[in-house]
Amino acid sequence: MFTNNNNCDIILLGDEKMAEKNVPKATLQRYPVYLKALRKLKHSGMERVMSKELANVVNIEPTTIRRDFSFLGNLGKQGYGYDVNKLIDIFNQQLGMDFDEKIILVGAGNMGRALMKYNKWDYVVGEIACAFDINPDRQGVRFGIPVYDINELEERFPEGCRIAILAISEDIQSTVDRLIKCGITGLVDFTHEHIQIPKGVVLKSVDVVSSIQELVFETNSLNVER
């Protein structure tokens, strides 16, 4: 495995599969952070970036950035910084997903509206293409996103869509079953309900209350230690 022990910045050339390298978990967790920053830099017109410049954006030490990047492939010329477009292409390939994903949202209530209003996924994964809700008062166009009747799910389902966000409180399992039949293979769940999914489908639950409870516990532990 090649490691970069030189303090100079380099242009990253070529790509190798991360599966063939023993990439640390902490490094993998930082890759999406780098990608988001690189896409923002590209959007601002930057073509090359030094590790010190990137460090100021992501708040990660330059030495850590250079070490993390060394897992991604062969290293080229030194002293010119990283080619932003090249890095973005390599991250897209190595992370194994399309970073222009069409995401659908099921549920246009309070949580759903907040997600539609935010909808800043474009630097990382894509955007919410459309939403579905059972309530006619929530249907129409909200924050530039079309909201359809949930009964039209199969008819309105975006071609090639793989990711869905669940922000509903009723008929959760039956809705999940319908989504999977339409081709959904990844679910982000805000429902706090037990959901059954088949093999080949990934479910990520978001539980803000549990996160706050964990934070309170950890904070209390720190106070006790002082």
Per-residue pLDDT of 190-199, as tens digits, reads 998 899 999 9
Q: What's the rounded Cα separation, in Å, for the pair 210 and 97?
A: 29
pTM: 0.61
Q: What's the rounded Cα separation, in Å, for the pair 106 and 128?
A: 10
* Residue written as token pair 């769940």: 189
* Residue written as token pair 């010119």: 80
Mean confidence (pLDDT) of the chain: 82
Q: What's the rounded Cα separation, in Å, for the pair 127 and 158?
A: 12
Per-residue pLDDT of 10-36, as tens digits, reads 433 333 444 445 788 888 888 888 888
Instruction: Identify the bridge partners of residue 141 per DSSP, sorted by sequence position.
Output: 146
Confidence band (pLDDT; 50, 70, 90) for 125?
Answer: low
Q: Is residue 138 within 8 Å of residue 109, measured between CB atoms?
A: yes
Q: Which residue has the higher pLDDT, 90 or 132?
A: 132
Q: Residue 116 region, left (φ>0) first, then alpha (ψ -120 to 50), else beta? A: alpha
The pLDDT score that the predictor gives to residue 5 is 42
- Strand order of the β-sheet with 101-106 is 140-142, 145-149, 126-133, 101-106, 163-166, 186-189, 202-205
Per-residue pLDDT of 78-117, as tens digits, reads 677 888 888 888 877 776 555 567 899 999 999 999 999 8
Q: Which range has the worst mean pLDDT, 54-68, 96-110, 139-153, 185-199?
A: 96-110
Q: What's the rounded Cα separation, in Å, for the pair 38 and 51?
A: 11
The pLDDT score that the predictor gives to residue 11 is 39
Reference 70, options 4, 17, 18, 1; nearest CA is 4
